[in-house]
Structure 1
């Protein structure tokens, strides 16, 4: 049951091409955004389309494979864990971000 404590699974479409970088220590990192869509009817009977954007981060071998296989618009299934962190932007303001650390993924189209 421990492996269910922080597990995220999403299916969606990539909003841009993967940003890939090799760090000074030799580790690789890949970043990309994925959009998930939910369609439902509100109490007034109107069709509502709710699109949510999620930040994905891959490390090491996962990052290298993400760079090769994932392109803007591609539908993908992702499994990973949810993380939250803070950073300082260029103006010195503290910002907060939520990211999904990708453990596995599978292109669907």
Structure 2
């Protein structure tokens, strides 16, 4: 059987201040929403922009920035894997969504033309 690959690379803007939770062992979990945008021409030749929101979860450790430095509007480069997440709606219906489990995050600081 051929080896499979589950890898995703994203570069985008943080949509809201991340939610950071401390675990019993002293490590932290950060959850954030990352927006990526793509510009394309529609059938009429007009430019359109499409934004996709990605749920990202990260754990403190190697290849991770200081979580407290990440805020709404921060630009991040994220490398990770796609993980399915099961949940139940308020009406009891089983649903599935996906999140990105980050293996590495790099905060990109604009140089403001310098």
Verify same fold: TM over 0.5.
yes
Q: Which residue of 1 aligns with 2:112?
A: none
**In structure 1, what is the Cα distance between the partners aligned to 2:68 and 2:38?**
28
1:61 partner SS = coil
**Correspondences of 1:22-61 after superposition (within 5 Å):** 22-24=22-24, 26-61=26-61
Q: Which residue of 2 aligns with 1:10?
A: 10
Equivalent pair of 1:18/1:66 in contact (CA under 8 Å): no
Structure 1 residue 88: deviation in Å? 2.5
Q: How many residues align?
A: 107
Return the structure number with greater helix share: 1
Equivalent pair of 1:58/1:66 in contact (CA under 8 Å): no
5+ long unaligned stretches in structure 2: 110-114
Could you list the structure 1 runs, at least 4 aligned residues long, displaced by more than 6 angstroms after superposition.
none
**In structure 2, what is the Cα distance between the partners aligned to 1:24 and 1:30?**
15
* RMSD between superposed Cα atoms in Å: 2.4
Q: Which residue of 2 aligns with 1:77?
A: 77
**In structure 2, what is the Cα distance between the partners aligned to 1:57 and 1:97?**
13
Q: Which residue of 2 aligns with 1:104?
A: 104
**In structure 1, what is the Cα distance between the partners aligned to 2:90 and 2:31?**
19
**In structure 1, what is the Cα distance between the partners aligned to 2:35 and 2:49?**
12
Larger radius of gyration: 2
